[in-house]
Chains A and B, each alone.
Chain A
């Protein structure tokens, strides 16, 4: 009996303390994330914080209860994913996106083995030279025609799919892993670290905001300038650009989850706060990150193409990558537009597939959009 009351009291106290902290923090983050309209409420939370611990504790609890009704979707845990998957399957956008991605992956994996000709051999060079710059279009032996050096475009497209997928996936993973690490640390620092933690978080987020304020293409160009010209550079440059996006997203998501009722429940059960962050808050904060990862694949592929266009892409002409092919084709665009159109359409369709799936996932996971 005494032990029981002791525990609840301790729980209350700690609740009152970090309840107000979290309140202020999450409001603040909302304010700076673009919903500037909440600046007023952020200030209100700040004054409430000074109004006395007892009152704040109660206010925080009431607020939390109020949030329960709003947040039912995000608090159900596993069934959220099941529910989301069910919604995804019935979403036409998601199905089209998934089919496109599946086709792309199959081509990327199998493609290099089934090419009708070598993608690098300049088999029809003589013919192209004889044509004096005129593009050899689609025909029986070369389905997509020839490029400016007399290589088979169809074979190059097949092999290029793998390179393109590689660039997209690797750069997305660089952004995702590093960004998620920074985001988790920042989110955990706020939740666990007290005043020092929040200070660390502020500094980290400032740096992230600076990086976010730079146009991503320029950031990638600067990185590529330091590292020199190669496929690895493109992947790192495009990946690093995504880091602040993932970091900011995961941190925000973790802070938003911090006030959820299952966190309260875990606290009431006396689970250590570090454990709560890692086993409760983090897994529940991941859904927006997964959506962003899907969308990032699309941006990564497009951005890699832009870097290639700017002359920072893979310099090795023997390795066909759609972005590089497209940037090579621009010189011949007036005479041989199809040479650019094939890789461009490849990039557009692939990016579209990832965008469709990502958008559909966002809709499926967003409790607000659920009917």
Chain B
């Protein structure tokens, strides 16, 4: 197990290196460049050359890349042009909100998606199946930000059931211990703050859950349908095993293998959905920050975010692999 982890971590290195090359090339291709960003549009050529020399931009590309890499390794992602703070600090400050939102969304998607998919497959052709399948097809086709607007318009602005923006109501401030509003309320004993944070979380989380939910329902359904037809299920049934045992140990356990992979990959893609969702609900996580960074052309933040997301993504992939070896003994043997 430990060897698997180490091997997989080593395999990350070339991927991240490749990514850093791509990002570096991308940064170099950006219009304007740092010199004109500092000096403005009407800079003279001599001034530009001076700034370029000061920033080391006149050196060979590979030297510049080396410096870029060194900074990235030291987690020095530059300074945000919007806030003047180091990009890394901005991420650390905002990450808990996004994690909270993503975890809530994934919980909704998994808790609703797997049972729905399973029931749809067991009653293939029934009304639940038809609803689940068509619902998930539509779910994939609805633009996330429109769903966000719709839910906000109906349930927050229209019916007033939920708050329409933010993480906490004004006056409540339970953050500070871990940065996770829900958790902090519990830790400090301010249960009203936890409740408030949860209520704020509902609409964004449901929005963000829509696509993973749709994917999980469909994958679970397809996977269960495939496994139900397998010989080992028939064998288990014909040797008189209890129906419940067959369902859990033979059908579900095998059917969930591809779903686990999907959940992992979906968690990575949740982050880009979070950019859209958070900005509609002004949620104050990394997503909202990225949204304003796009508007402000705050490139250090964007580069840092892509690097950051790639790392999160590969780590999630690693976790998926490890989860696999727990669920599927065949992997462990190797």
B310 touches A213 (CB 8 A): yes
* B18–A225 CB distance below 8 A: no
A40 at the interface (CB under 8 A from B): yes
Tell me the smallest distance from the CB of B247 to a CB of chain A, in Å.
Answer: 21
Interface size range of chain B in the complex: 35 or more
B144 and A337 contacting across the interface, CB-CB below 8 Å: no
Do B137 and A310 have beta carbons less than 8 Å apart? no
Tell me, in angstroms, the Cα distance from A209 to B291 when the chains sit together: 26
| Interchain CB contact (< 8 A) of A348 among B141, B152, B297, B321 | B141
Residues of A37-61 contacting chain B, CB below 8 A: 37, 39-40, 43
| Chain A residues with CB under 8 A of B324 | 36-37
Q: Which of B275, B294, B309, B334 contacts A43 (CB 8 A)?
A: B334
A344:B146 contact, CB within 8 angstroms: yes
A contact residues, total (Cβ < 8 Å): 46
**Assembly CA distance A359 to B330 (angstroms):** 31
Cβ–Cβ contact B149 & A355, under 8 A: no
Contacts of A359 in B (CB 8 A): 137
Say whether, besides A225-B297, A298-B141, A214 and B309 are in contact (CB < 8 Å).
yes
Judge if B153 is at the interface, Cβ distance under 8 Å: yes
On chain B, the residues within 8 Å of A334 by CB distance are: 153, 157
Tell me, rounded to whole Å, the shortest Cβ–Cβ distance linking A37 to chain B. Answer: 6
> Do A214 and B310 form a contact, CB below 8 Å, given A36-B331, A228-B31, A330-B149?
yes
Taking A209-B15, A226-B30 as contacts, is the C-beta distance between A40 and B142 under 8 angstroms? no
Which residues in window 281-311 of B have CB below 8 A to A?
291, 294-295, 297, 299, 302, 305-306, 309-310
What's the least CB distance linking B294 to chain A, in Å? 5
Task: A172 to B153: give the CA distance in the assembly, Å.
Answer: 33
Please indicate the chain A residues that have their CB under 8 angstroms from the CB of B333 in the complex.
40
Q: What does DSSP make chain A's interface, helix, strand, loop or mixed?
A: helix
CB distance B15 to A337 under 8 Å? no
Chain B residues near A235 (CB, 8 Å)? none
CB-CB under 8 A for A214 and B143, given A36-B331, A221-B294, A226-B26: no
**Residue contact A206 to B294, C-beta cutoff 8 Å:** no
Closest to A343 in B: B146
Chain B residues in 8 Å Cβ range of A368: 226
Which residues does chain B contribute within 8 Å of A211, judged by CB atoms?
A: 22
- Chain A nearest CB: distance from B17 CB in Å? 9
B197 at the interface (CB under 8 A from A): no
Kindly list chain B residues whose C-beta atoms are within 8 Å of the C-beta of A333.
Answer: 149, 152-153
A133-141, A163-171, A301-309 - the one binding chain B: A301-309
Within 8 A of A (CB), among B237-274: 257-258, 261, 268-269, 271-273
Whole-angstrom distance between the alpha carbons of A140 and B178 in the complex?
A: 58
Counting CB contacts under 8 A, is A94 at the interface?
no
Instruction: Enumerate chain B residues within 8 angstroms of A216, measured Cβ to Cβ.
Output: 269, 272
Task: Known A-B contacts: A210-B310, A215-B272. Give 15 more (CB < 8 A).
Answer: A34-B258, A37-B324, A210-B15, A213-B314, A213-B317, A216-B269, A225-B30, A226-B30, A298-B140, A306-B276, A326-B146, A334-B153, A351-B140, A352-B137, A356-B137
